[in-house]
Structure 1
Amino acid sequence: MWPWLFLLLCVAALVAAFKTTSVGVLVLCLVAALVLLSAWIVGWLSQRVGSRTRDESQLVDPVELHRLREQAQARREQAARPDGQP
């Protein structure tokens, strides 16, 4: 939600820049609009990247990964034996 607030404030700064008759206020409003636009872009991209990240709780820890590899290796070795005996 916060990035959209930056965009709204950016538009408000641009409207103020168009309506002012003072050069100082114009420059201040344009600089504020540029900063707010940059903040909106960074916040929007941050939301997009954050929504696409994986849940770290679903990652397999190294100990579990090692155990799974050992189980797979044991199954391959058992399947490779012609008599199927352990």
Structure 2
Amino acid sequence: MAWLYLLLAVAALVVAFKAASAALMLVALLAAFGLLLAWLMGLLAARLESRSSDPSMIVDPAELMRLREQAEARRAAAATAAPPEA
């Protein structure tokens, strides 16, 4: 969708260069500027979206506590099972 804004901005620039009246040229240049800004914002939004993580992968606090308890139990079991160092 963002590339459509760029195409429309180029079309607005062509209209501005071929315009016979100053009012039409001003309107076309403003439209081209707005469409270029929309294109840039669309690209930035797509880039941010591609870098964001999936919210369903976030661990809730209860699950995090359970994982910590399991890790502590494993560490305690490893400490008691390991022979003492000489």
Same fold flag (TM > 0.5)? yes
The answer for unaligned runs of 5 or more in structure 1 is none
Instruction: Give SS of 2:75's match.
Output: helix
After TM superposition, the score normalised by the length of structure 1 is 0.88
The answer for unaligned runs of 5 or more in structure 2 is none
Structure 1 position 82, deviation (Å): 5.2
Q: Does 1:60 align with 2:59?
A: yes
Number of residue pairs aligned between Structure 1 and Structure 2: 83
CA deviations on 1:18-56 (whole Å, 9 max, x unpaired) are 001211111111110000000000011101111221111
Structure 1 position 83, deviation (Å): 7.0
After TM superposition, the score normalised by the length of structure 2 is 0.88
Cα distance between partner residues in 1 of 2:78 and 2:49: 43
Going from structure 1 to structure 2, the CA distance change for 1:43 and 1:83 (only over 3 Å counts) comes to closer
Q: CA RMSD in A?
A: 1.5
Identity of aligned residues (%): 53
Letter of the 1:68 partner, please give it: L
